Amino acid sequence: ELVDMDNDNITTIDEMRVRSYRWSNNSNPAEWMTGAHSVTNLSLYHFSFISVNTLNANEGTELIHTLAASDTATFRIIENTDGLFSLSGTNNATLKFNGTTTDFESNKKSYTVKIKAENNTNNKNAEQTITVKLIDLNDETPTAITFAINEETSTAITLKDNLTINENTAIGTELGTLSATDADTNNTFTYTSSNAILSINGDKLKLNAALDYESATSFSTTITVTDGNHHSFDRKFNFTVGNIDDT
């Protein structure tokens, strides 16, 4: 068996010339014996990790990973900065990431551990840094709803202490765009209005009924946003109906 002593990743040799020599009292130094022998199809012994070095885990959960090397090995942790990794099982080949306290919304999105694999038979070892990347779950509740006026209909709606929509504004007029604030990054927002005077298509707020200043000078609605995972947030909007000279 040939052992790759320098870990240069060369794993095969096409042919190697082997010579025999003999020592006799009449020769100094030893003389080569006549002839040489060719040995082919040789393989170098190379010891390394064969398990992956990048893993994905949902935030706030545990992860189990099986370590593997190119030959029998015993594993041990040599760097564990955050203290979230541990080894167990036969030859310490079971790596556990205890991520129950991790939160994607915090500044840290990944965690690393450095493992050493040791093969005592051939006195070889290898090191591997494993990175666990957090997956963002939709686990946060929206915290705000904002409304941006549609500039094309700014003559019909103005923003002061509340929102003003002029009477006689055409039904279906797009009043503006709704947006929500949520710490999660993978949300699908849905908006609803408690007052049928307004309708919402996607994130667009539209006038859904005729306004008449002489009948009502103001109205309100509660806009509810949901994030696709049963989290919701409400905000009340007040509207004033603008008076237009009907004469």
Delimit the domains of the chain by residue range: 54-135, 144-242
Please give the Cα distance from 190 to 202 (Å, whole number): 7
Which CATH number applies to 144-242? 2.60.40.60
Place 160 in a pLDDT band, splitting at 50, 70 and 90. Answer: very low
Is 54-135's fold the same as 144-242's? yes
Segment (H or E) for 207: strand 204-207
pTM for this entry: 0.57
Nearest CA among 113, 136, 165, 112 for reference residue 59: 136
Q: Is residue 22 a contact partner of residue 30, using CB atoms and an 8 Å limit?
A: yes
Place 139 in a pLDDT band, splitting at 50, 70 and 90. Answer: confident
Per-residue pLDDT tens digits for 229-243: 888 888 888 999 999
pLDDT surpassing 90 at residue 36 = no
Section 175-203 average pLDDT: 88
Place 194 in a pLDDT band, splitting at 50, 70 and 90. Answer: very high
Does the domain made of 54-135 have the CATH classification 2.60.40.10? Answer: yes
Place 96 in a pLDDT band, splitting at 50, 70 and 90. Answer: very high
